Amino acid sequence: AQKITQTQPGMFVQEKEAVTLDCTYDTSDQSYGLFWYKQPSSGEMIFLIYQGSYDEQNATEGRYSLNFQKARKSANLVISASQLGDSAMYFCAMREGRTGGGADGLTFGKGTHLIIQP
């Protein structure tokens, strides 16, 4: 079974509209972290936002917010007031547990290709 599922291969959104990118995850760990990364055509993975499994409030970073629904195991990314520069691939990722002295590798979804139209 996939640990990270992103069901939207591609999305077209009008500039200035809000957009929600879906992500569901699967883990039996109690402690885990959820991340969203943006990958423009240049290829670099840009960190956007983080949500810890014990965080009670949804994470926010500027125009980005994470709609965390623990019981549903979903961690959707919301981008408010989309801009042309938001066009990129967006990846949801999970870090399960935490080993002593280090951070486990991330498990990524397959991504959503977001295109903002003027």
Partner 1 sequence: EAGVVQSPRYKIIEKKQPVAFWCNPISGHNTLYWYRQNLGQGPELLIRYENEEAVDDSQLPKDRFSAERLKGVDSTLKIQPAELGDSAVYLCASSPRARTTDGTQYFGPGTRLTVL
Question: Which is closer to partner 1, CB of 40 or CB of 118?
Answer: 40
Residue 4 in contact with partner 1, rule: CB under 8 A:
yes
Work out how close the CB of 63 gets to partner 1 at its nearest, in angstroms, rounded to a whole number. 19
Segment interacting with partner 1 (CB under 8 A) among 16-24, 60-68, 71-79, 88-96: 88-96
- Terminal CA-to-CA distance of the chain, rounded, Å? 38
Query: Which residues 6+ apart lie within 8 Å of 56 measured at CB?
Result: none
Residue 108 in contact with partner 1, rule: CB under 8 A:
yes
Query: Which residues 6+ apart lie within 8 Å of 96 measured at CB?
Result: 3, 27, 29, 32, 104, 107
Residue 62 in contact with partner 1, rule: CB under 8 A:
no
Residue 111 in contact with partner 1, rule: CB under 8 A:
yes
**Angle subtended at Cα 88 by Cα 15 and Cα 5, rounded to the nearest 5 degrees:** 110
Which residue ranges make up the site for partner 1 (CB under 8 A)?
Answer: 4, 33, 35, 37, 42-47, 50, 52, 91, 93, 95, 98-111
